[in-house]
Amino acid sequence: MDITPPGTKPLGSRRKVCVVIASRANYARIKTALAAIRNHPDLELQVVAGASLVLERFGGAVDVVEADGFKPDAVIRFIIEGENPVTMAKSTGLGLLELPSIFELLQPDIVVTVADRFETIATVIAASYMNIPVAHTQGGEVSGSIDESVRHAITKLAHLHFPATDLSARRILAMGEDPAYVFNVGCPSIDLVAQVDPLTPHDALTPLTAAGAGAPIDPDKPFVLMMQHPVTTEYGQSLDQINETLDAVAALGMQALVFWPNVDAGSEHIAKGIRTFREKGRAHGFHFFRNLPPHEFARLMAHCSVMVGNSSSALREGAFLGTPAVTVGTRQQNRERGANVLEVPNETATIYEAMRRQIAHGRYDRNDIFGDGTAGQKIAQILSLAAPPVQKALAYTAEDLLEADLRGAEFPTASA
């Protein structure tokens, strides 16, 4: 493979690659790439830790990152409290006030940003206005929530694309990105899962009994794994939505490991639902976590009887691990998935029935749709070679554009 585009050359013998990590989810999806970048002879790794990753309220996930040997070169705090649509927009703004100072200091040759959240778009805007090329992972996927729009906007600003699936890569190309800079490498989160020794269920659960809060964990009993985030485009409905799921899980009567939500508009409503559920004394057999290292979380996915909620992990790592999963509501709608996922609306009875079916089915076969465990290595290798121009240009040909109107029904004009 010759990934160096014609007419360009590598940016330098040792490129500074600055990876911005903003949440525990980000970290799990970039960790193996961090290691590969750090170990690559032609690359120098810079880590910027920010947003919920550095907040104790979200489990102080940055400690896990440091413990893995990735000491941040800079820590930035830009989450404005409130977790509603206004503060999400404003936190993006605060990120955009902070990140340029950091980039000015660190002088990276390329910036790497992950997925589709407000920290991600703040990163890509900051870097691209500063004429620093940006590499983006997880572009081209489809989902619900504002993440859907933001993800594709990031693609249009980014210079180098690391989609995680074949279909995602094709969507990025369809959007007009230059094929020379679009690489289907798979998702680094799959690398992580592929490397983890799943242990036995007993051994996977045992170390967790000392962590988290709530009912004691019995490592010898089956369990439900639950992680539900707010859907920002349905702001105001999050409390009802979490209640439907909590009721369904409670009805199962099985022990449940429940994670607190991401920072997003509506998170406080989710948290309120969980707190009320506990305070009403309904959380028998429920154990609560703010954060776990990715490898411990992977073990839970490898052994749970069913995973429920709306985390994309159920679709990504779940495909590789064959985790029986019930995905609730619209947050993952249209995202690629394997056979392991049942998607249901936010209704207790339907969620309950779907969980019962998945528990009865048991584990699914491995599916490599999100990668085969080599994403991190590929990302580092491409970062050491590719030299995308800062000035982007749409890759459409005249022919592409003549065809464009064939896709819709009739081409709308206001004079029609």
Applying CB under 8 A, among 59, 72, 144, 309 the residue interacting with a copy of itself is 144
State the sign of the Cα–Cα–Cα–Cα dihedral 103, 2, 140, 379: negative
Name the residue among 152, 150, 108, 96 with its Cα closest to residue 133. Answer: 108
Applying CB under 8 A, does 69 fall inside the site for a copy of itself? no
Cα–Cα distance, 113 to 98 (Å, whole number): 15
Cβ at position 331, least distance to a copy of itself in Å: 11
Distance CA(123)–CA(114), nearest Å, equals: 9
Q: Which of 53, 99, 341, 354 binds a copy of itself (CB under 8 A)?
A: 99
Token pair belonging to 151? 């993800």
The string over 3-39, giving b where at least 16 C-beta atoms fall within 10 Å of a residue's C-beta and e elsewhere, is: eebeeeeebeeebbbbbbbbbbbbbbbbbbbbbbbbe
> Which of 12, 67, 71, 93 is in the footprint of a copy of itself by CB under 8 A?
93
CB of 352 to a copy of itself, least distance (A): 26
Touching a copy of itself, residues 326-355 (CB under 8 A): 330, 334
Which residues on neighbouring strands pair with residue 225, listed in sequence order?
Answer: 257, 307
Interacting residue with a copy of itself among 87, 165, 312, 340 (CB under 8 A): 87
Radius of gyration of the chain (CA): 21
Residue 67 or 174 with smaller CB distance to a copy of itself: 174
Shortest Å distance, C-beta 150 to a copy of itself:
7
Nearer Cβ to a copy of itself (184/340): 184
Minimum CB distance to a copy of itself, residue 305 (Å) = 26
Contact between 1 and a copy of itself by CB under 8 A: the answer reads: yes
Query: Cα torsion at 182, 311, 45, 94 (round to 10°)?
Result: 100
Question: Are 371 and 187 a contacting pair, CB within 8 Å?
Answer: yes
To the nearest whole angstrom, how small is the minimum distance from the Cβ of residue 186 to a copy of itself?
A: 8
The stretch near a copy of itself (CB under 8 A) out of 9-17, 264-272, 303-311, 340-348 is: 264-272
Q: Of the listed pieces 61-69, 296-304, 313-321, 398-406, which binds a copy of itself according to CB under 8 A?
A: 398-406
State yes or no: residue 174 binds a copy of itself (CB under 8 A).
Answer: yes
How many Å apart are CA 254 and CA 221, to the nearest integer? Answer: 8
Contact flag: residue 281 with a copy of itself (CB under 8 A): no
Sign of CA dihedral 143, 123, 369, 256: negative
- Our finding on whether 89 is near a copy of itself (CB under 8 A) is yes
Q: Does 409 bind a copy of itself (CB under 8 A)?
A: yes
Q: Verify binding: residue 88, a copy of itself, rule CB under 8 A.
A: yes
Residue 291 interacting with a copy of itself (CB under 8 A): no
Instruction: Give 138's DSSP letter.
Output: S
Q: Is 331 exposed, middle or buried (0-12, 13-18, 19+ CB in 10 A)?
A: buried
Nearest CB to a copy of itself, comparing residues 349 and 394: 394
Contact characters 108-137, a copy of itself, x per CB under 8 A? ----------x--xx--xx-xxxx------
- Does 207 bind a copy of itself (CB under 8 A)? Our answer is no
Report the site for a copy of itself in 14-43 (rule: CB under 8 A): none
If the CB atoms of residues 124 and 306 are measured against a copy of itself, the closer one turns out to be 124
- Binding a copy of itself by CB under 8 A: which of 40, 43, 72, 98? 98
Residue 164 CB, shortest distance to a copy of itself, in Å, is 12
Burial class (CB in 10 A: 0-12, 13-18, 19+), 401: exposed
Specify burial of residue 216 (Cβ count, 10 A radius: 0-12, 13-18, 19+): exposed
Q: Which stretch binds a copy of itself (CB under 8 A): 16-24, 183-191, 219-227, 312-320?
A: 183-191
For residues 369 and 164, the answer to whether their CB atoms sit within 8 Å is no
Is 414 a binding residue for a copy of itself by CB under 8 A? The answer is yes
